[in-house]
A and B are shown apart, each in its own frame.
Chain A
Amino acid sequence: MKKLLMTGAAILGLATAAFAGNDREIVVMSWGGAYTKSQVEAYGKPFTEKTGIKVIWVDADNPATPIKAQVEAGNVSVDVADVERSDAVRLCDEGLLEELPINELPPAPDGTPAKDDFIGDSLTECAVPNIVWSTVVAYDTTKFKEAPKSIADFFDLEKFPGKRGLRKSAKANLEMALMADGVPADKVYEVLSTPEGVDRAFRKLDTIKDQIVWWEAGAQPPQLLADGEVSMTTAYNGRIFNAMVAENKPFAILWDGQIMDFDMFVMPKGAPHKADAWEFIKFATDTQRLADQAKYISYGPARKSSAPLVGKYKDGKTDMQPHMPTAPENLKNALVNDFEFWADHDTELNERFNAWLAQ
C-alpha cells in the first residue's frame, strides 16, 4: 500500500511539473479550420515572437455562444474571441464584454486615427473589427453542365439537382431565401421585419427542406462538397477559396446574393489575462497585420489603410483581389448584413427556425 501511495505521489508530482508552466499566455477563440490557420500565421506567430506571450488557439462553431455561456456561468477561460458584428453588439449591450480603451489602437501609417481607419464606422467600445467576410453559395463544378448564375438557382432542384448544404441557424438563410424569391437586396431587411416576410422566407426554405444537409462548423461545407454529400452549399467564402486554391478542389463560388459581415475581436467580461489580451488585439488589428492576414485566406482587411498592402496569396502567384468579397465584380448583387436587425431579432428568429427544423 505504501508503495502504491509513493508511486501515486510521484506521478502527481510529475503531472504538476508538466502542467505548471508559468509562461505568459492568452487563449484566443476563433472559428477553426483554414480561418484559424490564417490567424495563427498572420497574428499569433509574429505576436509571440515579438512579446514572448504564447497564444493558445481554440475553436468553436460560433465563439459568441460559448463566451456568453462562460460569462453567465462565471467561469471565463477565454481572453479574446472572434465574433460576428451583430453578436458583438448584442453581447456588448448585455454587458458580457469588457470595454476597451480603443483610443490606444495604433493609427494608420499615414496618421489617420484608428477610429476613422476602420471601414463603415465598425469600431465600437467593445469590439475591434478584423476582417470583412461573406456567406456565399459554393458548388462543385463537376456536378453541373451549366454553372448556376443567380441565388435563385440554389433553390432550383430541377435544373441543379443534388443535396444542399446550409448553416444550421436563421442568419443568412432567411436573407438568401428572400433574395432567391425575388426580393431586391436593399429591401431584404425591410421585408424580413414583417411577420409576412418571415413566413415568406420560411416558405421558400420549405421548397428544398428535405434536400438540406445542415452544417455548423465553418470547416464542414468544403468537406461536404468534397465528399459529394452535397452539390451546392452555403459557406464562408474564405473556406471555399482555401479548398479551391490550396487543395485544388473543383469548386466555384456564386457571388450573386452574397451576404457580407464583419468579424471582430472582443474580450469577454472577466477574461483572465486582460492586459496581455489587449496587447494582442492592438497588435493583430494594426494595418500591417490585417493586410498579412489576407495573404492566407480571402477575407478583406477591416482597415482602409490595409487594402493597398494586400498582394498575392502565400503561394506567390494567386492574386487575392478578385477573391475578396469586396471586389467590384463580386458586389453586383450583394447584401450587407444588418447587424442591428440581427442583434434585436436573433433570439426570436432562431427560435422560429428551430421549431421549423424540428417539424
Chain B
Amino acid sequence: MSQVPADPHAAVVATAGGVEDGPILTVDGQPLDEALARAGRRARWRAFLLVMPLLVFVIITFITPIGQMLHRAIYNPTFSQNMPRISAWLKAHPDEPPTEEAYALLIEDLKEARKNKTIGAVATRINYDVPGTRSLFTSTARKAKRLKPPYMEAMLKVNRKWGDPRIWTAMRQAAHAYTIDFLLNALDFTRDAKGDIVRVDPERQIYGKLFLRTLVLSLVITGLTLVLGFPIAHLLASLPLKYSNLLMIFVLLPFWTSLLVRTTSWIVLLQTNGVINDILVWLGLIREDQRLQMIFNQTGTVIAMTHILLPFMVLPLYSVMRTIDPSYVRAARSLGATSWTAFRRIYLPQTVPGIGAGALLVFILAVGYYITPALVGGSSGQLISNMIAFHMQKSLNWSLAAALASLLLGGVLILYWLYDKLVGIDNLKLG
C-alpha cells in the first residue's frame, strides 16, 4: 500500500499504457477531473446561491428570534444587575450563611433599587422562586433608609423572613444571571432551603400535569382523526377520480377555511343555547334544563381540534391509498380470504406509511395548538401553549414562558426529526 499513486486516473492511464503519461486533459488543456470537480463545485454554488437569500431571511426572522428566546430561558440578569453588591458577596461566599456584612450590602442595594425604581422587578424575580416574598422586598426597601446597624438585627426586626434560608438560597441562585431554575420550574421542580433540587408542593404542581394533558389530548385527537379519516380516505381512494375529486371538496373546503371561522362555528353549534342542544331538546332527547355542556371544557377542545386537524390526516392517507393496487385484495379474495381477512392482512399493512405520516403530522400540530383551546377550552381544555401565552401576557414571567417554550420546542423538534426520518419532508403534500 505504500505506492498508491496520487491520482487514481493517472494510475489507470499509466497502467493502460499507450498514452503518454499525465492525466486526461480537456480541450483547453486542463486536467479533466479537476475541470469536472470545478464544474460540480460551481453547480453546487449556483444551487446554494439560489437558496441563500431565503436561508438568510429565515435565519433572521425565524431562527434568531427563537434562539434568543431559548437564551432567555436560562438567562435572567434582573437580580444580579439591580442588586450588584449583595450579588457579588453571594458569589464570593458560596457556602457561607449571611453575615452582618451581607445584610449591610443588602440594605445598600435595597435603598438603591428603591431609588432607581427597580425594586419591583427585583422583588418579582425572587418571588418566582419563593412565592409570597414580593411584599417583603418592597416594604423593607421602603423602610431601608431608616435602618441602623447592627443591620442583621435591624432587618430581622423589620421582618423575620429575612432570616429564612430559603430566601437566601433564592438570592444566591438569582445572583447568577445564567440559571437553570426556570427550566426546573417548568418541570415542577424547585430548590429547597439548602439549594438542592426538589419537587414543588403538590398543590403547586401544574406544568407536569399540563404537559401530560397536552400529550393525552393530542393522542386522543390523533386517534379520532385516524378513526374518522380512514374510512373517508378509503372511500375517496376507491372511487373513480371524477367522483373523488368532487367529494374531496368536503375535505379541502374546511382545510382552506379560516381557523377562526371554524372555531366560531363550533361555538355556535356546541354552546348551551347552541344549535345541537336546541336540536336535542326539540327531539325530546334531553329536557330544557338538562342542556349538555359540550364547550368551554376538554370536550370542546377535542371536538373542534379533531375537526380542524382531520384534513391533515385524510390527505396523506388518501395519497398513499391511491397507490395501492386493488388487484392484491382481489387476489386474496380469490384465494379464499374473507373480506375482513383481506382487509386486515393485505390492505391495512399497505396503508401504514399513510397512517404514520398523517398521525405524526396531526400529533405534531396538535401538541402546539393554541387558538382553538384558548377560545373553546374553558379552563380544563387548555394546553401547554396556552400556559406559555399566559406567562407571556398575564403573569409576565417571561423567563418561565421561555423555559416552557423551549421544552415544547424540544419535543416538537424530536417529532419533526422522526417525521423526516420516517416520512421525509419532501413527501409533505398540501391539497
Contacts and interface: CB of A to CB of B under 8 A. Distances in A.
Interface of A: 65-66, 68-69, 72, 90, 93-96, 168, 213-214, 227-229, 344-345, 347-348, 350-352, 354-359
B257 to A, nearest CB: 24
A114 to B, nearest CB: 25
Contacts of B118: 94-95
Interface stretch (B168-176, B320-328, B356-364, B390-398): B390-398
B81 interface: no
A124 B409 CA distance: 45
Contacts of B390: 354
Contact of B119 (A94, A347, A358): A94
Nearest to B136: A344
A227 B394 contact: no
Contacts of A348: 127, 131-132, 134-135
Interface string B106-129: 000000000011111100100100
A357 B210 CA distance: 12
A350 B379 CA distance: 15
Contacts of A357: 379
Given A69-B393, A344-B138, A347-B134, A228 B272 contact: yes
A350 B393 CA distance: 14
B254 interface: no
A294 B398 CA distance: 39
B84 interface: no
Nearest to B390: A354
Interface stretch (B21-29, B201-209, B298-306): B201-209
Contacts of A95: 116-118, 120
Given A65-B394, A93-B138, A96-B120, 18 more contacts: A65-B396, A93-B119, A94-B118, A94-B120, A213-B296, A214-B378, A214-B379, A227-B271, A228-B272, A229-B271, A344-B138, A344-B139, A345-B134, A351-B395, A354-B206, A354-B390, A355-B206, A359-B203
B206 A227 contact: no
Contacts of B206: 354-355, 358-359
Instruction: Please list the 9 inter-chain residue pairs (A to B) with the smallest Cβ-Cβ separation, ordered nearest first.
Output: A95-B117, A94-B120, A344-B135, A358-B206, A348-B132, A355-B204, A347-B134, A228-B273, A93-B120
A320 B178 CA distance: 57
Contacts of B296: 213
Contacts of B131: 348, 351-352
Interface in B379-414: 379, 390, 392-396
Most chain-A Cβ atoms within 10 A of its Cβ — which of B134, B210, B390, B393?
B134
A65 B394 CA distance: 6
B379 A69 contact: no
Nearest to B132: A348
A102 B297 CA distance: 48
A358 B386 CA distance: 12
29 contacts: A65-B393, A65-B394, A65-B396, A66-B393, A68-B396, A69-B392, A69-B396, A72-B396, A93-B117, A93-B120, A94-B119, A95-B120, A213-B378, A214-B378, A214-B379, A227-B271, A228-B273, A229-B272, A344-B139, A345-B134, A345-B135, A347-B134, A348-B127, A348-B132, A348-B135, A351-B131, A354-B390, A354-B395, A359-B203
Contacts of A229: 271-273
A345 B135 CA distance: 7
Nearest to B134: A347
Interface string B253-278: 00000000000000000011100000
B394 A347 contact: no
B210 A358 contact: yes
A229 B272 CA distance: 6
Interface in B181-237: 203-204, 206, 209-210
A119 to B, nearest CB: 25
Contacts of B378: 213-214
Contacts of B121: 72, 94
A60 to B, nearest CB: 10
Nearest to B142: A93
B83 to A, nearest CB: 15
A350 B395 contact: yes
A358 B204 CA distance: 9
A168 B392 CA distance: 16
A272 to B, nearest CB: 21
A168 B127 CA distance: 21
A35 B26 CA distance: 83
A72 B127 CA distance: 17
A149 B131 CA distance: 37
A226 B119 CA distance: 45
A125 to B, nearest CB: 12
Contacts of B134: 344-345, 347-348
Interface in B131-173: 131-132, 134-135, 138-139
Nearest to B122: A94
Given A65-B396, A348-B135, A90 B210 contact: no
Contacts of B120: 90, 93-96
A345 B127 CA distance: 11
Contacts of B210: 358
A314 to B, nearest CB: 31
A229 B271 CA distance: 8
A308 B360 CA distance: 68
Contacts of B139: 344
A85 to B, nearest CB: 16
Contacts of B379: 168, 214, 357-358
